Amino acid sequence: METLELQSKVHDEARQGEAYSPFAIDPNNYKKHFYIESYGCAMNFNDSEIVASILNKEGFGATRNVEEADLIFLNTCSVREKAEQTVRKRLTEFKKIKVSKPGMLVGVLGCMAERLKAKLLEEEKLVDIVVGPDAYRSLPNLIEEAETGQKAVNVLLSREETYADISPIRLDSNGVTAFVSIMRGCNNMCSFCVVPFTRGRERSRDVNSIITEATNMYERGFKEVTLLGQNVDSYYWVNEQTNEAVTFAMLLEKVALISPELRVRFSTSHPKDITDEVLYTIAKYENICNYIHLPVQSGSTRILQLMNRTYTREWYLAKVNRIKEIIPDCAISADIIAGFCTETEEDHQDTLSVMEHSQYDFSYMFFYSERSGTLAAKRYEDDVPLDIKKRRLAEIVAMQNKLSAKSNQKDLGKTFKVLIEGNSKKSDEQWMGRSSQNKVIVFDKKNHSLKKGDYVHVKVNSCTQATLLGEIV
Ligand code: SF4
């Protein structure tokens, strides 16, 4: 589970679109309104859309104006201490609103709710409702309970729950790209990670409900779906009637066959589980994007063992080589943790050299943040001093900036098929879109009659470290 920065970015870009926003629906249709904020990974963002659907059925309308809300929900992340501090600070900002609107309820959802459970109610008196990632169906009852003045909690984890029958309401959508969750939970026990404790055991969603949702999105004009899971490569679903088993590669193919006009992305992969079958399926279909997010976390086999990542440096590099062999123009991104317990300068250099070998297009980079309850917190001392963690992280970021700039430089003069997602941030005279390699490309609209959701070929003329700039050809 990775990618903290993703969410806020998606929110901002999406605000331009408002194509399928529930906010567009006449608010007078609803007796009460809810306001929801999502923090952390794409899974949380998609969960908020599932929560919106459950509340909508109960007659709650979505509002973007927190002052208007009868219900405020924060869908939280627990991956690092900083993520939880952000939530606690946000809660203090609701104090004033609650004083002016006594009946208003405040709820905390997601991984922080699951990690802290009822303790959160003691620590944050403002909070009325605490709900874990597997208990969103119980929200209507919990709201009723809280409306009587009681505190309401449900943090039961499930081995079955996939919300397969609930069609998410797209919040702040650009009307072009959408997340589709294919599985929940994680069976890996990376020693630094809270996810197995906050999202429970792995379970794969019924393949038919995934295809139905993706087809429905395509028929509504969406042109890209991202299949979501903590570790998508271990997707495995068996039809109890026919005993037909569906692997991730088979699922990818089924989604790609919905329409060649529908782009397919997925996140997140695990180096130990990504198969040649998946790589050949990506290579076979033009509409399955040539981009793989392949967290490495560390380049040192000794540290990888302490992290319980279940692969070695050599295994990881072999996977990267295999990806480039089967899909030569595939973009790869990673997650990297600097300063894990007992990390030496030599281990750190191993991480820098894995980055150089893998030539990442971009990465999510953090320094180790001990999470109580994890294996690492129980077994190892968090012994790398903060200043060394920060210095090593700075070196990793500098390495990545160099690699990203080099990767974009290599694209100068090339032409890419781009899916238009909306206006560029800088000017309404320019479109913003992405290549199959998930690179952001900005180009002038000129007098081409194009719209969001259209594909267009763009020749790259210049670039920054983060963005390619081009013209329509
Ligand atoms: S694969 Fe590891 S890091 Fe990712 S969610 Fe599972 S336990 Fe956490």
User: What's phi and psi for 149, nearest 5 deg?
Assistant: 100, -5
* Ligand 1 neighbourhood includes 287 CB (under 6 angstroms): no
pLDDT in the model for residue 286: 98
- What is the rounded distance in angstroms from the CA atom of residue 170 to the CA atom of residue 53? 9
Asked, colleague to colleague, whether 177-410 and 415-472 share their fold, the answer is: no
What's the 79 CA to ligand 1 centre distance in angstroms?
10
The dihedral through the CA atoms of 219, 220, 223, 226 has a sign that is negative
Residues whose CB falls within 8 Å of the CB of residue 311, separated by 6 or more in sequence, listed in order: 271, 272, 304
Return the amino acid letter for 409. Answer: Q
What's the 189 CA to ligand 1 centre distance in angstroms?
7
What's the 466 CA to ligand 1 centre distance in angstroms?
27
Which atom, in ligand 1's list, is nearest to the CA of 297? 3
C-alpha triplet 43, 45, 50: angle, nearest 5°: 90
Class of domain 415-472: mainly beta
pLDDT in the model for residue 28: 58
pLDDT in the model for residue 27: 52
Other Cβ atoms less than 10 A from the Cβ of 424: the count is: 22
* Ligand 1 neighbourhood includes 190 CB (under 6 angstroms): yes
pLDDT in the model for residue 29: 66
Tokens of residue 314, six digits: 């050599």
In the predicted model, residues of the chain with pLDDT beneath 50 are 1-25
Atom 5, ligand 1: residue with shortest CA distance: 1
* Ligand 1 neighbourhood includes 193 CB (under 6 angstroms): yes
What's the 194 CA to ligand 1 centre distance in angstroms?
8
> Would you say the pTM of this structure is higher than 0.75?
yes
Atom 8, ligand 1: residue with shortest CA distance: 193
Tokens of residue 182, six digits: 């294919």
| Segment (H or E) for 160 | none
Per CATH, the architecture of 12-154 is what? 3-Layer(aba) Sandwich (3.40)
Coil/strand/helix, residue 92: helix
- What is the rounded distance in angstroms from the CA atom of residue 10 to the CA atom of residue 170? 12
CATH number of 177-410: 3.80.30.20
* Ligand 1 neighbourhood includes 232 CB (under 6 angstroms): no
Which residue has tokens 């943090």?
Answer: 155
Other Cβ atoms less than 10 A from the Cβ of 32: the count is: 17
What's the 186 CA to ligand 1 centre distance in angstroms?
6
* Ligand 1 neighbourhood includes 38 CB (under 6 angstroms): no
* Ligand 1 neighbourhood includes 191 CB (under 6 angstroms): no
* Ligand 1 neighbourhood includes 131 CB (under 6 angstroms): no
Which residue has tokens 């709650």?
Answer: 60
Alpha-carbon distances of 445 from 177, 201, 416, rounded to whole Å? 20, 47, 16
Domain boundaries, the chain: 12-154, 177-410, 415-472
* Ligand 1 neighbourhood includes 205 CB (under 6 angstroms): no
Pocket test for ligand 1, best of 111, 114, 193 (most atoms within 8 A of CB): 193
Which residue has tokens 């250099």?
Answer: 349
Q: Are 324 and 300 in contact (CB under 8 A)?
A: no
What's the 316 CA to ligand 1 centre distance in angstroms?
16
* Ligand 1 neighbourhood includes 195 CB (under 6 angstroms): yes
